[in-house]
Each structure stands twice: as C-alpha cells, then as structure tokens.
Chain A
Amino acid sequence: MKARILDSVDVLKIVDLLSEQGYEVVAPFHREGQDSYFDVVTPANRHAVRIHLPNPLYPPKRFIFPHIERLMTFRQVNGDLQIQATHEEPRRAIFGIRSCDLAGIGHLDRYFLGREFRDTYYEKRRRHALLINVVCSDPQRDVGDDCFCVCADTGPAAREHFDLQLMDLGRGEFMAVAGSPAGQALFQSPIFRKAKPAHVERRRAILAEVRKRFKTHTSWFSAAVRYLSQDKVTERTWEEIGNRCMECGGCTYVCPACTCFTVSDRPIGDGQTERVRIWDSCALAGFTRMAGGFNPRRAVHDRRNRRFFRKLAHYFVQRELSMACVGCGRCVTVCHGNIGMPSVVEMLRRTTAGVQEHEPAIR
C-alpha cells in the first residue's frame, strides 16, 4: 500500500478535493463534551470538520445502510399495477470514518453482498462510496472510555476496507495510505509528498503507544466464542443477562455491525404507496411473532441470547470471516442494564468456565 505525507494544515483540503470531484462528503463535527456527529460538509461548515474528537454515537453506517430506505413505489391505475424500484446511487465520501466503523462496513459487505443473494440497495450505495479512514492516534481525544477495538482486532489502525487512511504523526504531519486505486488517485494533488522511513517508524511508535492507552474495557472474546459455540453457556447465565435487558433496542441501533431490518408499506398520497425498510432490533418483543400469537423466542433472555449468539457463534464467524462486533463500545455507552458486549463476554466467560472441569484431578 502506497504511503504519502502531507502537512496537518492541508488535511481538510482532501475534503475539498473530494467535493471538487463531485462527491457529497460527510464528515465528523464536534459540539462539546461527548457530543459529536457526522454531517454533510458544506461551504458553511467546512472549517468545523474535526479529525480528533469522540467517535459519534450514531455510526456512519447509515450513509450506506440508511435507518429508513425506500425500496419501491406501487401505483394502481385503471386496474393496472405499476411497480417502480427507487434506487439511490449517491457518489458519497465518508471522511473521518474510524477503523471500528470501517470494519463494520466490511462486515456489512460480506453479509449483504455474500451468500445466495446480493442486496441490491446496499450494493448501489456501497459501489460509489469512498471511505477515508482516520486512525485513532490521540488516546485523549480519539479513544473513548468504552472503546475496545484492540480486543476485536479492528483498530486503532484499520488494515483493509479503506480507500484512503489518514494518521496524525504529530509535528505538523499526517501520513496518508492508499487502500484502493480511487484513494491512490488522490495522491496526484500537490499537497502530498513522499514518505521517509522515519515516518513509518513514527507511525509504528505512535500505534504501539495508543494500544497501551486503551481505557477501562477489555473483551476476552475467544473464551466467549468457544463456550457459546459449544453450547456450554448455562440457562442461568442467559437468564441473568436477559433480566438486565430493558428491551429498548438501543444497542442494535448504535451498532455498526447490526443488519436487521423490517419492511413496511405506507401511503404517500396520490393513490400511491411506498415500501420502505427500517432498521429493526432483535431485542424488541415483536421481532419473531407469528400468526396465531405463537412466538418462538418469547422470553427476554432468548432474545438477548439471540443477539450475542448471532454476533459471536463460531458458525457465523467462519461464514462471515469476522465476529459481528467491531469493538466500538457504543452498546456499552447506551445500555442502562450494563449488558454491553464486554460485560456479556465477561459474564459468559466467568459463569461458564466451570472451574472444576478445568482443574487437574489429583487422584
């Protein structure tokens, strides 16, 4: 992968370059405290785009897999039925996407574009999306209290899925790494100059330091993946987790790796209806309800079980080449019951370790 160096003062010129190339650019902005958000860059707010800030709670996933997305419209005229697919193929760049969220998009790619069917709508939005990754290099401003990408092996520096990766090397310099031909094409701009071995060395040193500065959370996934895949998690453990779930669905809505949606038809006037898909949550009671009121996942702990099983079971990890958790820590932030991913992994690990089973027999 080709690397270049640019001055810190020129970093936002990449946003301008992309705008000039016809991209709608979305980028992160910071209000105060933990309040940060992604928004479309305009001439009016361009100066306020931030590189170092808390990762926004509402992940940029929505620019490729929107919260609500129209799929088609139906019109009935004189006994005829007309169906119109409604595609959007925006030429959009996501500037400042963090490594965890990038891994989330990698997961979505394998899920929506893999197996028997390719998701038409996802594909169209994804095809023209340009992803400009920013490495979390500042433990104070970039790494949140709940982050654990190091445990999920997705960060702080992504190794794939980006078109261009930017990293603050300090001393007024950034390193840019091209991950695709589209990213490399940007190097034609005069803001980029050649990198020296010392730059690579500085990058390595900074990353080594950041990795050590992660905060409170660790998530020892591998034990959890194993116990859960071998069906060793006790019913009691699941119940305990379920008892803490307030069924708000928050964890699924902030998750960069969640994919579930529901489909709904609604009138849009003029005798027409539209079909939309809307993010859905396996934490909500209606998720699996069927005709006759029979609900195969009635108990709350069954639903909790489902979320973690789907994210961590070895079968799915193998099929999708990754867990459906990228270690962003958002579910930790939003969960009132303290059953974000790391604490669930810890509960599974602790209560299932079955101490005696592993102790040597002395007889």
Chain B
Amino acid sequence: MNPPSAENIYLPRVAVLDRVEDNIPDVKTFYWRFENPADQRAFRGFHPGQFVQVTIAGVGEFPASLPPSPTEDQIFFTIRQVGGCTAALHRLRPGDKIAVRGPYGNGFPMEQYQGKNLVFVAGGIGLIPLRSCIVYAIAHRSNYGRIAIFHGAKTPKELMYRDVLAACQQTPGVECHLTVDRGDNGWEGNVGVVSSLFKKPGVAMPVENTVAFVCGPPVMFRFVIRDLLAMGLTERDIISTLERYMKCGVGKCGHCCIGVAYICVDGPVFTYEQIKRLGEDI
C-alpha cells in the first residue's frame, strides 16, 4: 500500500466565475479562479491536454478540458450545453460559485515534440483541447518548427476561437486555414471538409519531422487520419484525445476503461498507434 495521504481525491475546491463569454451557439467560455489563492497557485502547473472535474452544486460533476495554455494568465473552460450539468453551468453568471478539482490526465507531450513541425487539425469544438497546445507552442515559438493549423466547422458562426487563430496568423512560420461545410453570405473562405485544405494551393503542409494533433467528431477523425497516413505521417506521429464517459477522473470508478487503459489517468491523450491498439472507435 502507498503511504496514507491527507488529500481527499474527490473533494473539489470552490472557485468563482469571473467572466462568461459567448462563443458559438450553445458554447460559452467561463473564466474562473479558485477562491483560495493557494489552490490557484497549486493549479498553475497544468499541462496542455489535461482536464478538470467541474462541480455545479446541486446538479453534478462533469469533465472539461483546459483550453488555456499554462503560459496564459487566465484560467477558463469552454463548454457546450448538452445536458444537466452543462446547462446549469450555462445559467450561471459572474460572481457565482462552482467547484473544481484537477488537473487530471496525461496531457500532450509538448516537450518531447521540441524541434518538430506541428500540424493541428480541429473539427468544431475539437479545437477546445487543442487551443492549449497551439497557444503553448506559439509562446515557445523557437522550440518548434513550422506550425500549420486547420480548423473546420459546419458554418462560419461555428468556427471556434477566431481571435486566437487570427493572432496566430500574424506569427512568422505559423499558418492557419479555415473551412466550413456550408458558407453564408459573408463567407469568402474555403467550403469543404477540413482535410480538403491539406492540398489546396497556397497551403504548405509540413510532413517530414511532423506531429499532427487531431481532434473532432469521429467521422472527421477517420477521414483526416486516412489522409495524413497517405501523406506519409506514421501512426505514431498522429496524436489525439479520447473522450469517454467519466465519473471520477482519478482511475477508480471504471467508467472510462477501454482495452487496457483507464482514459482518465493513462490518457486522455493517445497517439493513433495507441488508440488502434486499444481496439476502440475514436
């Protein structure tokens, strides 16, 4: 047995909502901080790709990715309203209290990827967990080679984090491409699935010495993987996050267990090689 610990792994700490921002329909970003400054300081060491367990008192607890990079000052999450907890969160206002525990999970191995080109492919709210890596990579710009970001959504209104992506585009050696399934009146950009961007004229997609971060709905994932493999990336160069029903986040409740992995502690970040070995659908 490990030595006894004082820490209660299930006990969340109280946090205050500072600001709520509308993103796309049904999706809002919630800026928050722990009520106790010591909790806030302890939390700063999180890694891109980790997640937290969020409590809405009286309703329940759910897992949420951490879209901020540890290099940023503010902490927040971006949440789509789908059911009980997320709808309750959407009803909260600045000043309201929530409770948070974490950070949990392995996160993306950003340090291991130093010296590599980075490709980010995000469909819809798949950009939420990747935002952290993108901002982190740009904050450590000199550690990485070229950076190419591809983001697709159903309609222009559903493109995520437009301000962050616009800022990326101003950074030397970083390119950012957007696409939508259906345009609207003002849309002059690409129309088509996200992988249709890879071979467009004017797009310089790195392939050698490259890691591709891919997050999005299962259909998108399958097509993007197929194209990336065809372009010459290996299964080990493709990395993603698995979202599974989670109840505890700390490897005890058993809900997230697939194959030989507990997604909450062994993941949620896995290479495509590992995902295939787990023998599950994305």
Binding site for B on A (CB under 8 A): 71-72, 74, 76, 79-81, 83, 85, 109, 111-121, 123, 127, 231, 259-265, 267, 273, 275, 277, 280, 282, 287-292, 294, 296-297, 306, 309-310, 313, 315-316
Q: B10 touching A290 by the CB < 8 A rule? A: no
In the complex, A32 Cα to B1 Cα: how many Å? Answer: 40
Among residues 103 to 154 in chain B, which have CB atoms less than 8 Å away from a CB atom of chain A? none
Asked if A79 and B4 make an inter-chain contact with CB atoms under 8 angstroms apart, the answer reads: no
| Cβ–Cβ < 8 Å partners of A118 in chain B | 2, 4-5, 9
* Residues A116 and B254 in contact, CB atoms below 8 Å apart: no
Q: Which residues in A have their C-beta under 8 angstroms from that of B75?
A: none
Q: What are 13 A-B pairs at a CB distance below 8 A?
A: A76-B57, A76-B97, A115-B265, A116-B251, A117-B265, A118-B5, A127-B4, A259-B252, A260-B255, A262-B255, A265-B58, A291-B82, A292-B82
* B9 & A280 in contact (Cβ 8 Å cutoff): no
- B260 within 8 A of partner (CB): yes
Chain A residue numbers with a CB within 8 Å of B55 are: 74
**A83 contacts B58, CB within 8 Å?**
no
Q: Nearest A residue to B57 by beta-carbon distance?
A: A74
Residue contact B2 to A264, C-beta cutoff 8 Å: no
Shortest CB-to-CB span from B275 to chain A, Å, is 12
Chain A residues whose CB sits within 8 angstroms of the CB of B279 once the complex forms: 231
- Count the B residues whose beta carbon is within 8 Å of the partner chain — how many? 45
Given contacts A79-B95, A83-B14, A117 and B61 within 8 Å (CB-CB): no
Separation of A282 and B253 alpha carbons in the complex (Å): 11
List the A residue with the shortest CB-CB distance to B95. A79
A319 to B14, CA, bound (A): 35
**B260 and A316 within 8 A (CB):** yes
Complex Cα distance A28/B252, Å?
A: 29
Inter-chain contact A109/B248, CB cutoff 8 Å = no
* Complex contact A117–B244 (CB within 8 A): no
Residues of A within 8 A of B5 (CB): 118, 120
Asked if A296 contacts B251 (CB within 8 A), the reply is no
Give the Cβ gap from A61 to chain B, nearest Cβ, in Å. 15
Chain B, 58-104, CB within 8 A of any chain A CB? 58-61, 80, 82-83, 95-99
Contact A263 to B61, CB < 8 A, known contacts A120-B8, A121-B10, A296-B281: yes
B11: Cβ under 8 A from any A Cβ: yes
In the bound complex, do residue A116 and residue B82 qualify as a contact, i.e. CB atoms below 8 Å apart? Answer: no
Whether, in the assembled complex, B183 has its beta carbon less than 8 Å from a beta carbon of chain A, the answer is no
| A296–B2 touching, CB < 8 Å | no
Q: Is residue B24 within 8 Å, beta carbon to beta carbon, of the partner chain? A: no
The verdict on A262 contacting B265 (CB below 8 Å), with A79-B95, A118-B4, A296-B280 known, is no
Residues in B with CB closer than 8 Å to A297 are: 258
Q: How far is the CA of A287 from the CA of B257 in the complex (A)?
A: 11
Of A119, A290, A315, the residue contacting B9 (CB under 8 A) is: A119
Known: A116-B265, A117-B252, A316-B260. A262 touches B247 (CB 8 A): yes
Segment 219-259 of B: residues with Cβ below 8 Å from A: 243-245, 247-248, 250-255, 257-259
A315 in contact with B260 given A72-B10, A74-B57, A127-B4 (CB within 8 Å):
yes
Q: Cα distance A287–B96 when bound, in Å?
A: 32
Say yes or no: A81 contacts B2, CB within 8 Å. no
A116 to B7 Cα, complex, angstroms: 12
* Residues on B with beta carbons closer than 8 Å to the beta carbon of A74: 55, 57-58, 99
CA distance A17 to B1 in the complex (A): 28
Per CB-CB distance, the 5 closest pairs between chain A and chain B, nearest first, are: A260-B254, A81-B97, A315-B260, A74-B57, A117-B250
Which of A76, A120, A290, A309: most chain B CB closer than 10 A?
A: A120
Pair B245/A290 contact, Cβ less than 8 Å: yes
**B9/A85 in contact, CB under 8 A:** no
CB pair A290–B244 under 8 Å, yes or no, is yes
**Further 12 A-B residue pairs, CB within 8 A, beyond A115-B251, A121-B10, A296-B258:** A71-B10, A76-B57, A79-B96, A80-B97, A81-B97, A120-B5, A262-B247, A262-B255, A267-B58, A309-B259, A313-B260, A315-B260
Q: A116-B265, A265-B58 are in contact. Are A109 and B9 (CB under 8 A)?
A: no
Task: State the CA gap A325–B96 with chains docked (Å).
Answer: 47
Question: Nearest CB to that of B11 among chain A residues?
Answer: A85
Q: State A85–B8 Cα separation when bound (angstroms).
A: 8
B218 on the interface (CB 8 Å rule)?
A: yes
**Distance A117 CA – B251 CA, assembled complex (angstroms):** 8
